[in-house]
Structure 1
Amino acid sequence: MGIIDRANLDRIFTGFKGAYAKGFDGAKSVYPTVAMTVPSTTSEEIYGWLGQLPRMREWIGDRVIKNLSAHGFTIKNRKFESTVSVPRERIEDDHYGIFAPAFEELGKAAAEHPDELIFDLLAKGFTSECYDGQYFFDTDHPVGSSGGDFPVTSVANTDGGAGEPWFLLDCSRAIRPLIYQERIPYKLTALDDDTDEKVFFRDEYIYGTRARSNAGFGLWQLAWGSRQTLDAAHYEVGRNAMQKFKGDEGRLLGVRPTHLVVGPDNEKKAFDLINAATLENGASNAWKGTVEVIVTPWVHAA
């Protein structure tokens, strides 16, 4: 290349952005399936409406207005970055093309980062609180209303255990079991001016991606977490319990599991349970095709 000027640097950055976009667009992220994406406009968002899944009722007398500010649950945005450097002499000598795979990986990592946030949080649900002050997966979620027709009782969305975790989720609704909160989307920027400090002192151009976002828990009623052995018996327990979940007014919520989320250690068990025509004992598999399986490396025992 010889002379490095603004036009050449812009052209090189365009190439790097193309490689970044290729990696970003080609990534197989699955977080939109299990999490609702919520745009954020401040450093944090308060989800006062969590805990309410409206159901229709017969209109007798006045309307019953549901309070959507019964719970105060806040998700604070976090800042994330990933940065790479390209030595100036590589560009001077026209060797910058060898860095294209690195920028493609940078794009892939950015696209998959929400998966990491969402599924890592899901795996921590046995020890992390949600909107009602209980662990997301707990045996003591309070359901009901004090002084109402449906007294408060404790409801479980886990059957415990000590093994590799697996999760049943209802992802059929506008509200999801998890929340991906996005303040600033992932963007690739360059520090490639000769007057920039890094360029002047270290003789290298800096490129990086930045985002502000976070993950949080949505409705525990749409999720079942287990660390029991993933088999037909425990799968049935989870499905049965979820379909019996009720709201604070005592009416069924109509929850139906749509996805089974597992880590690598439960992958074979999950596909055998959901895809096989028969079980290990030779009996017909009643659970064949009842949910879709999601396998992610970020689901593992904490």
Structure 2
Amino acid sequence: MILNSANLRTLNTAFSAAYQGAFDGAPRQFERVATTVQSTTKQNEYGWLGSFPKMREWIGDRVVHGLSTHDYAIRNKRWELTIGVDKDDIEDDNVGIYTPMFQGMGRDTATFADELIWPLLANGWNTLCYDGQNFFDTDHPVGGVGGAPVTSVSNSGGGSGAAWFLLDVSRPLKPLIFQNRRAFEFRRMDAPTDEVVFDRNEYRYGVDGRCNVGFGFWQMAYGSKQTLDATNYEAARVAMGSLKSDSGKPLALTPRLLVVPPSLEGAGKEILESERNAAGATNKWRNTAELLMVPWLA
């Protein structure tokens, strides 16, 4: 191939198409449990997570639900992925070997949010959320508004086995947050004057962006490392359904998504899809939630 601007543009178009095709076809699961928040600065403050307001009768002055004193912020990080293409390979028309690499780049970019979201959920037992407690904890403080007493509330089932999660993803703000500052963009360095081309005989193509992840409302997620069976599944549903706001009103949560790693897919199917339980009786938990097996949790 003659190394001129027209041919290099054509080559960039081919590499970009391979990237974009794989990007568009990649499966993305993070959107099921995370709300995407567009960021316009270095970090976003989420102090308002301390308020889970509920409707009240208007007696006297309005009660204004503003930002709480909670100090919770998600700071954006920079990420990149770069592929180097040997100049000699282009001259020798040996560029087909790079197509799978650009397809891999496209898939990795599309699923990068999954690589951030699911490990964060799995580490919820030792990662703080807005109230200063671990996201999955036994003593989240709730109450203190309108005379309601402050009590400790749990969204953790404890245990030491493989983790599973019951979530309410029906609200505008899901249990997790994907904060997007700058979307990933495909770029190139293939001008003869680029230092890397002159010094290393190499053209470079890459993507870069800015984003990060964090926790939303802990009330909308229940995590357990107990055995995934009907008894513990029921306990999780009862715990979530019993949650109240700081003013003492029921949150009316609807846990309809059961998230499991590959090792617990069979147990999840038995609870949610079997017509009868192990004793032969009608399975009362059938179709009470959707099962989502997440390979990122393996």
TM-score normalised by structure 1 residue count = 0.95
Does the residue aligned with 2:266 lie in a helix, a strand or coil? Answer: helix
Give the match for residue 81 of structure 2.
82
Q: Is the 8 A contact 2:50 2:68 kept in 1?
A: no
Give the match for residue 144 of structure 2.
145
Asked whether 1:20 is paired with 2:24, we answer: no
Letter of the 1:17 partner, please give it: S
Give the match for residue 4 of structure 1.
3
Does the residue aligned with 2:206 lie in a helix, a strand or coil? Answer: strand
- After TM superposition, give the deviation of residue 223 of structure 1 in Å: 0.3
| 1:192 paired residue among 190, 193, 215 | 190
Letter of the 2:123 partner, please give it: K
Distance (Å, rounded) in 2 between the aligned partners of 1:27 and 1:113: 11
Does the residue aligned with 2:246 lie in a helix, a strand or coil? Answer: coil
- After TM superposition, give the deviation of residue 297 of structure 1 in Å: 2.2
CA deviation string 1:220-243 (max 9, x = no partner): 000000000111110000011101
TM-score normalised by structure 2 residue count = 0.97
Distance (Å, rounded) in 2 between the aligned partners of 1:47 and 1:105: 34
Letter of the 1:141 partner, please give it: H
Does the residue aligned with 1:49 lie in a helix, a strand or coil? Answer: helix
- After TM superposition, give the deviation of residue 98 of structure 1 in Å: 2.7
Letter of the 2:195 partner, please give it: E
Distance (Å, rounded) in 1 between the aligned partners of 2:95 and 2:217: 48
Give the match for residue 42 of structure 1.
41
Counterparts of residues 164-175 of structure 1 (less than 5 Å)? 164-175=162-173
Give the match for residue 244 of structure 2.
246
Q: Is the 8 A contact 2:261 2:297 kept in 1?
A: yes
Asked whether 1:113 is paired with 2:102, we answer: no
Distance (Å, rounded) in 1 between the aligned partners of 2:186 and 2:147: 55
Does the residue aligned with 1:298 lie in a helix, a strand or coil? Answer: helix
Distance (Å, rounded) in 2 between the aligned partners of 1:270 and 1:208: 40
Distance (Å, rounded) in 2 between the aligned partners of 1:186 and 1:280: 48
Deviates more, 1:255-264 or 1:54-63: 54-63
CA deviation string 1:155-184 (max 9, x = no partner): 000110000000011000001100000011
Distance (Å, rounded) in 2 between the aligned partners of 1:108 and 1:32: 16
Distance (Å, rounded) in 2 between the aligned partners of 1:5 and 1:254: 64
Does the residue aligned with 1:107 lie in a helix, a strand or coil? Answer: helix
Distance (Å, rounded) in 2 between the aligned partners of 1:14 and 1:77: 30
Letter of the 2:211 partner, please give it: S
Distance (Å, rounded) in 2 between the aligned partners of 1:243 and 1:208: 47
Letter of the 1:106 partner, please give it: M
Q: Is the 8 A contact 2:168 2:174 kept in 1?
A: yes
- After TM superposition, give the deviation of residue 107 of structure 1 in Å: 0.6
Distance (Å, rounded) in 1 between the aligned partners of 2:115 and 2:278: 33
Q: Is the 8 A contact 2:51 2:68 kept in 1?
A: no
Q: Is the 8 A contact 2:37 2:178 kept in 1?
A: yes
Deviates more, 1:100-109 or 1:166-175: 100-109
Q: Give 5+ residue unaligned stretches, structure 2.
A: none
Q: How many residues align?
A: 298
Does the residue aligned with 1:238 lie in a helix, a strand or coil? Answer: helix
Distance (Å, rounded) in 2 between the aligned partners of 1:241 and 1:98: 54
